[in-house]
Amino acid sequence: MPIYNPLPFDIYEEGVLVKSRTKLNFVGDEVTAEDDEDNARVNVTIASGVPDDHAELHEDDGADEIDVGGLAGLLADDQHVLDDEVLAAAVQAGAITNAVTKAPTHDAVFDVKATADAAQPAATDAAAAVTAMGAKADDNPLHHDRYTLEAHKVSHQDEGTDEISIAGLEGVSESLASTILQMIDGPLSPMILTGGVVTEGTVGTVSVSELTALLRSDTGATDPLTYVTLAAQANKAIGSADTKYYIVLTDTPAIVVRTTKANDTTEIGLGICMKDTSDPVKVHYQSSGMRLQNGVAKLHKRAASLRVNELASGCAIADVGGDSRQFTVDKGVVYHGINRLTPFADVPYNPFNSNDDKFTYIYGDTDNGFTFSDGTDTVINNTQYYDGAGSLATVGVTLYACHWVYIHSDDNDVYVMYGETNAKLAAAEQAQPPADLPIELAEFGLLLGCIIIKRDATSFAVIQMVSDTFFTGTAVADHGELSGLTEDDHPQYVLVTDLEDTPTEDEANKATTSEYIFDHNADGSAHQSNVGAIGIIIDGGGVAVSTGIKGSLYIPAAYTITAVTLLAAPAGAIVIDIWKQAYADYPPENAQSITASAPPTITATADKSQDTTLSGWTTAIAAGDTLRFNVDSVDTIERCTLILTVTKT
């Protein structure tokens, strides 16, 4: 709208003269000119602000977007984030409040959960939010490179530990993603990846080192595996004394010490432990964490159940010498299941020396209680043995006693248990390990061998190692070395003092006594018996007997089996099969069983059985036959004697 003025006037821009004109023309939708007659002037109005919609400044009302997807290399220009994005990230970091949760689109790249916490300090603009998040300084508060690594982490869920799912990604089908997960979750077992080692804590406690592990999300055998971490756990209390406890990693995650085992899916067993009643209290432990796949784990369990602790090599017991009655134990290799342990391999041992390292003496049984020394013993006792009634007794003159040496293969404790032997050397050499043991030995101990010492001797008569002595009791000692023969309480023996120079008449009608020993004309059937016994002792070495083949015998003469008897300790259940085969075709196998459907059996909670019926048995044994004894099943029983009553044919 033109405005006329007969006089020209000067027009300036920012104080600089543009031109002198008599006319002005205002152009633009946002500019208006209106005559104000009352005030004798023209009002020119210019609208304030920016266009209502920024998109109107672009072609196609803002639809002219440029897609950078698939372009190679880095973008030449610096890229910026929107204020809303910064504000949303700042909310996650706790720097500001009252932002709105964004949908997972390009203008919400952080995909954060907005929270409203009045206790958090408020920031009202993006620059302040970035500063509050710990950003780096530059001239542009919205530059992406203002964020530090730690500041960026907190913009994610779980402070950067939010896993990325490959399901649905372009190039990876949903079925392929599922297959990959199944290939991981199926074959792999819950396991310890690193750490999780059990050590002794303060008095009456155990500690577990920092660990990482895989646990299943639920108790199913193929439920997804989840990755867990746990900081070191110190001084986890052990409950009651003289009780076996399991050290378990749970899915919380947490370490618990309890009397029940881990379920091996959402939980993992790290080991076992106990505390005793000594003063001060001593803690015993054994690490056995699962660092295995499922197949190997089953092998481990099988090995552990069959053998418990097994000496592989080393750990030889030796006499220190010098009439000291002290002993050493070399370093060795021991297996608990398939876990390899190396007792006495490290300082201050290699070898263990009883004079320097000390040991603990034990005697007793479950009925009478067990008595422990103070753990400062250094020498083997040469005057006492356990009397089986709760006390120590004096070894007979010229007789021998047995002292059974046990170790803890993980914590290197050494124990010596008094045996009940008070006998000649040959009988002492046939002695069996104690069947009744305290928990320190039954659950944690490994038998190394037996030290045999004569009354008042200053050196050991014999050292028997489990690696070269088969403790079964099947061997027969030299009769000349047996004790008690001078006592007239053995009807199977004839005393020299009973012998007569002159035979007695009519001996066929007499009872079998020593007075007929010289009568060669008497009817032999009146004085001899064709009844005998064939037997074997099966010993678990202080633990439950395992299944499988337990021994073989060669039978030099022909017999007929008339009965079978089983004697066991402690009470439990056991089934033993007997196989027979001629020596030329040795060894016999299951197909050569002679017991039909009635193998020798002790039913649950019993400690003996006897069968004189022998239903279906093959009772004939030919001269030169071999017998093999196989334990088909067993529960609880640690030692069992099988006796076949036979008649010579």
pLDDT, tens digit (0-9, with 9 covering 90-100), for 216-235: 999 988 888 899 999 999 99
- Whether the per-residue pLDDT at 160 is higher than 80: the answer is no
User: What is the average per-residue pLDDT within 269-291?
Assistant: 89
Q: CB–CB of 636/607 below 8 Å?
A: no
Instruction: Tell me the pLDDT of the chain averaged across its residues.
Output: 79
Say whether 332 sits in a helix, a strand or coil.
Answer: strand
- What does the pLDDT read at residue 105? 43
User: What is the average per-residue pLDDT within 528-546?
Assistant: 88
- What does the pLDDT read at residue 416? 98
Amino acid letter, 602: I
Q: Are strands 332-336 and 339-341 parallel, antiparallel or unpaired?
A: antiparallel
Q: What is the pLDDT of residues 230-240, one digit of tens each?
A: 999 999 999 99
- Whether the per-residue pLDDT at 34 is higher than 80: the answer is yes
User: What is the average per-residue pLDDT within 102-116?
Assistant: 40
Q: CB–CB of 647/534 below 8 Å?
A: no
Residue keyed to tokens 């000349």 = 480
Token digits of residue 368: 């009478």
User: What is the average per-residue pLDDT within 124-130?
Assistant: 54
User: What is the average per-residue pLDDT within 526-539?
Assistant: 81
Q: CB–CB of 558/532 below 8 Å?
A: no
**Nearest-angstrom CA–CA distance, 15 and 350:** 100
Say whether 198 sits in a helix, a strand or coil.
Answer: strand
**Nearest-angstrom CA–CA distance, 367 and 436:** 9
616 band by pLDDT with thresholds 50, 70 and 90: very high
Give the whole-number percent of the chain exceeding pLDDT 70. Answer: 67
291 band by pLDDT with thresholds 50, 70 and 90: low
pTM, full prediction: 0.42
- What does the pLDDT read at residue 392? 97
338 band by pLDDT with thresholds 50, 70 and 90: confident
- What does the pLDDT read at residue 44? 79
- Please report, for residues 276, 357, 395, 402, 413, the alpha-carbon distance to residue 464 in angstroms, rounded to integers and kept in the order given: 29, 22, 20, 10, 20
- What does the pLDDT read at residue 29? 72
- What does the pLDDT read at residue 337? 82
Token digits of residue 113: 């959960």
Q: CB–CB of 451/405 below 8 Å?
A: yes
- Whether the per-residue pLDDT at 371 is higher than 50: the answer is yes
- What does the pLDDT read at residue 108? 38
- What does the pLDDT read at residue 147? 55
45 band by pLDDT with thresholds 50, 70 and 90: confident
501 band by pLDDT with thresholds 50, 70 and 90: very low
- Whether the per-residue pLDDT at 441 is higher than 70: the answer is yes
Question: Which residues make beta-bridge pairs with 539?
Answer: 639
- What does the pLDDT read at residue 83? 56
**Nearest-angstrom CA–CA distance, 581 and 625:** 6
Taking Cα atoms as reference points, which of 120, 124, 54 lies closest to residue 92? 120
**Nearest-angstrom CA–CA distance, 104 and 414:** 65
129 band by pLDDT with thresholds 50, 70 and 90: low
- Whether the per-residue pLDDT at 552 is higher than 70: the answer is yes
- What does the pLDDT read at residue 491? 60
Residue keyed to tokens 């203008």 = 107
| DSSP result, 373-423 | --S-B-S--SSEEE-SSSSEEEPPTT-EEEEEEEEETTT--EEEEE----B
Provide the 10 A C-beta neighbour count for residue 114.
17
Domains and CATH numbers, the chain: 3-46 (no CATH), 83-160 (no CATH), 185-307 (no CATH), 311-477 (no CATH), 484-527 (no CATH), 531-648 (2.60.120.340)
- Please report, for residues 142, 162, 531, the alpha-carbon distance to residue 108 in angstroms, rounded to integers and kept in the order given: 14, 17, 97
User: What is the average per-residue pLDDT within 302-310?
Assistant: 77
Terminal C-alpha separation, the chain? 147
